[in-house]
Chain A
Amino acid sequence: MEIFFQVLIDGLVIGAFYSLIALGYTMVYGIIKLLNFAHGDLYMIGAFVGFTLLSLFTGDGGVNTGILGLGVVFIGTMIIVGFLGMGIERIAYRPLLLAPRLSILITAIGVSLSLEYSSMIGWGASYKVYPIKLPNDGIQLLGTQISFAQMGMIVLSALLMLGLRLFIDKTIYGKAMRAIALDQTACSLMGVNVHRIIALTFFIGAFLAAGAGIMSGIYYGTINFLMGFTIGLKAFTAAVLGGIGNITGAMLGGLVLGILEAFGTFYMGGSWKDVLAFGILILFLVFKPTGILGAKEMERM
């Protein structure tokens, strides 16, 4: 039973990362029907920008930055990467919005490679050790040791997702996002600056992915310029699992995938981890392509 909870907590933390990244996938897909394959790399950039900011704070020494310093690093990184996401939309995707879907999809792959290899040039090809050490202490719950760091990550992820849900449901900009996903032209005719709302969507997606990036840097301890590749595909899996285009679906899909993976790894061994995740993707694509909460198109004339 102890082990069960240990695995569950581990799955929750990883699942929260997947969820945060899957949200960006699903929001961008919802609004402009683009599978933004560069999205996983924004998570990587988030980890690196966080790495650089933390290094400035701690002078590479692994000194405890304190909660306040950590908060500044988180917010600063998420905003910087958010603007990067917006810039990518402006430069790479917006000129192609009216082009065939394939052009923009291939561009996304190009953006992904550009981000990866410019990061390699900027930060180097080797693994970097994250310049922060979080205390291992925590609490005993149901016979399992849960560290404060794990709890903090789960809580922070939950808050970010709750904040996003409220933003989408309650603010006029969130409503405009949902409306653009349904009918762009009608939105223009309501006085909505559609391009600006699309840019905002990219900002939020990148913002959340960057948050996940720093957390994973802290959680795993090392980062690398290719770290966004596999996790990007996993987050895509999570988005499909929950129902692509569906915000709650992405959150749920991420958590389900994280937990399944954690248990799969525990019972079958780590080498089966990716097989399990992508096996699930294939099963869903074949048997339930709309995902767990897939949008049922509702229309009535």
Chain B
Amino acid sequence: MKPLLKLTDVNSYYGKIHALNNINIEIYEGEIVALLGSNGAGKSTTLKTISSIIRPKSGQIEWNGKNIVGVPPHKIVESGIIHIPEGRRIFSGLTIIENLELGAFTFRKDKKWIKEGIERSFDLFPRLKERSKQLAGTLSGGEQQMLAISRGLMGNPKLLMLDEPSMGLAPIIVQEIMRIIKEINEQGTTILLIEQNAKAALRLANRGYLIEIGNIVMHDSAEVLREDDKIIKAYLGA
């Protein structure tokens, strides 16, 4: 089987900082892949490089067998890769419905898709429905994350990349978010997940990559990673 997304020897820079050093990642259709690592290891940079917010200095990123390095971000979204950024980045001054509509920007001519997508979002997160006409900035942190995920789904992703969806949320909300991610995956969307909360991530994922100072230092199935001494010490807490 060919990977859906394949990063080969990718090098990215943040100004002068060499943030990604010959990164190799493969993601297969239908998987949940976790990207683990501490702050500043290069996890977010990896996602930003895939979604073309950052252009890699060298290396290849193949999506469905086609190199997508240098393709502008909005075209990446059109091709089915959707990146839900760290910190949620919802549009606080727009209503919840407007946020969702913008999530479907690439489907802007398809009124039916937008209408159905909004209904699907409300089925997934009924709390959003009650506040559909409110400004998104008035939502709680957990609700904002729900909106960010729904907004991402409005673009009909084949690959959904989530950057720290549990950040700053209460444990019970984290559980709900994780359950929803599982559900999205079961409905056929491939997932690339960044999590500080390695425990939760490895419970959900099929496979994981560990990244340290810009290098992939380990990759294996989630079961193996859960039992690995190094991971337990550094990320799962003994």
Residues on A lying within 8 angstroms of B by beta carbon are 172, 175-176, 178-179, 182-183, 185-194, 295, 298-301
Contacts and interface: CB of A to CB of B under 8 A. Distances in A.
Contacts of B144: 300
Interface of B: 51, 53, 72-74, 77-78, 82-85, 89-94, 98, 101-103, 105-106, 108, 135, 137-141, 144, 151, 155, 168
Contacts, number: 81
B51 A178 contact: no
A269 to B, nearest CB: 43
Given A172-B101, A301-B141, A188 B53 contact: yes
Contacts of B73: 188-189
B7 to A, nearest CB: 18
B17 to A, nearest CB: 18
Contacts of B89: 183, 185-186, 189
Contacts of A191: 74, 77-78, 105-106, 155
B103 to A, nearest CB: 6
Contact of B138 (A185, A188, A300): A300
A183 B137 contact: no
A186 B101 contact: no
A298 B135 contact: yes
Contacts of A193: 72, 74
Nearest to A195: B72
Given A175-B101, A176-B105, A189 B92 contact: no
8 contacts: A178-B93, A182-B91, A182-B92, A185-B85, A188-B74, A190-B103, A191-B105, A301-B141
Given A186-B89, A190-B151, A193-B72, A179 B94 contact: yes
Nearest to A175: B98
Nearest to B106: A191
Nearest to A188: B73
Contacts of A176: 102, 105
Nearest to A179: B91
A172 B92 contact: no
A188 B75 CA distance: 9
